[in-house]
Amino acid sequence: MKCPKCQSENVSTQVINTVKLKNKHHGLLWWMFVGWYWVPIKWIVFTVPALIFAIFGSKKQKAVNKRKTVCVCQNCGYNWNL
């Protein structure tokens, strides 16, 4: 591997693991067909199931692993993504 800046062969690669938390949301269609009547019923009439739903609903977080390989030139310090 060659450095694109100084053409040096003295390049090290390292894998960087970044974790991103992604929130799951209801889509537009869900709100159009279900959400507009389900949410008021849920919160006014079914208070207990709503609380249970809220507890489980808050766990809708997804961990997304993203692997990134970064090359670092040992000669000039230039780094770039592979």
Q: Which residues bind Zn ion (CB under 5 A)?
A: 3, 5-6, 8, 73, 75-76, 78
Closer to Zn ion by CB, 1 or 52: give it.
1
CB of 75 to Zn ion, least distance (A): 4
CA distances to 17, 21, 23, 49, 68 from 8, rounded to whole Å, are 26, 38, 43, 64, 22
d(CA 73, CA 80) in angstroms, rounded, equals 9
CB of 73 to Zn ion, least distance (A): 3
Closer to Zn ion by CB, 8 or 50: give it.
8
Q: Pull the structure tokens for residue 52.
A: 């249970």
